[in-house]
């Protein structure tokens, strides 16, 4: 979390190997991603990372099923295995009944769940989400956040950029970015979502007071 321009998306892009850090190192799964060549970066993204974006990035000319298949096609996975994998995750995300529809035929919340299915179909170590609920209503956003919690509980790490305190309250840890640096962080611990959201709000108020003082 952090104000616009604080460096949240830049950090996400560096971790995603879309940008390179000008100094320092970024280690993911034991690899310094700054040292990878273009071929290694492509392989690393495909095998280790999943991406969920605010605007879904689904192909309207592909069915939802085919959109989910895409990462597997790029990895030369056999059709029978692709079917099996989609069959495993579709019920979890409650999208079984829309697999053969197209993105333009479904709601925003359903689109985001299809996008999440595409992101996790390869079982990446790290799921990167940039404002994943920004285009959703509150009910759909809550479904997406509960889905992220389920994914995390199954052993996958989720790193999300958000401005929403409610969405952040689903996380186990919230990091506040200011001027490109980690400025503050809080852990959920045994708090429920409501209690944690109050602590997040208090942290934001503190950061705003610091910003106003520095101005």
Number of residues in the chain = 215
Query: Residue 127 falls within a domain, yes or no?
Result: yes
Specify the pLDDT at position 141.
87
Hunting for tokens 């299809």 — which residue is that?
114
Task: Say how many domains are in the chain.
Answer: 1
Question: Is residue 64 in some structural domain?
Answer: yes
1 within domain boundaries: no
Q: Tell which residue, 131, 121, 105, has the closest CA to residue 52.
A: 131
CA of 99: how far to CAs of 72, 135, 179, in Å? Answer: 16, 21, 42
Tokens representing 72?
A: 């597997």
Instruction: Specify the pTM.
Output: 0.85
Residue 35 belongs to domain with CATH number: 3.40.50.300
Where in the sequence is the domain holding 67, given as residue range(s)?
Answer: 8-214
Classify residue 2: in a domain, yes or no: no
pLDDT band of 215, cuts 50, 70, 90: low
What pLDDT, in 10s, does the model give residues 70-96? 999 888 889 999 999 999 989 988 899
Domain contains 174: yes
Find out whether 178 and 209 touch, Cβ atoms under 8 Å: no
pLDDT (mean) for 130-155? 87
User: 211 pLDDT band (50/70/90 cuts)?
Assistant: low
For residue 117, is it within any domain?
Answer: yes
């Amino acid at each position: 979390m952090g104000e616009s321009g604080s460096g949240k998306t830049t950090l996400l892009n560096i971790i995603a190997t879309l940008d390179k850090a000008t100094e320092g190192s970024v280690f993911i799964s034991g690899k310094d991603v700054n040292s990878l060549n273009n071929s290694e970066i492509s392989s690393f993204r495909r095998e280790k990372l999943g991406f969920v974006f605010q605007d879904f990035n689904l192909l309207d000319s592909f069915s939802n099923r085919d959109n989910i298949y895409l990462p597997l096609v790029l990895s030369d996975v056999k059709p029978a295995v692709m079917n099996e994998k989609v069959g495993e995750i579709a019920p979890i995300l409650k999208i079984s009944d829309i697999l053969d529809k197209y993105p333009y035929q479904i709601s925003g919340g359903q689109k985001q769940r299809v996008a999440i299915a595409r992101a996790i179909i390869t079982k990446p170590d790290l799921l990167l989400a940039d404002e994943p609920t920004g285009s959703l209503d509150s009910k759909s956003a809550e479904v997406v956040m509960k889905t992220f919690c389920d994914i995390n509980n199954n052993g996958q790490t989720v790193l999300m950029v958000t401005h929403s305190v409610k969405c952040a309250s689903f996380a186990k840890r919230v990091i506040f970015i200011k001027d490109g640096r980690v400025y503050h962080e809080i852990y959920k611990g045994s708090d429920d979502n409501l209690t944690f959201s109050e602590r997040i709000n208090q942290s934001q108020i503190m950061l705003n007071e610091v910003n106003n003082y520095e101005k």
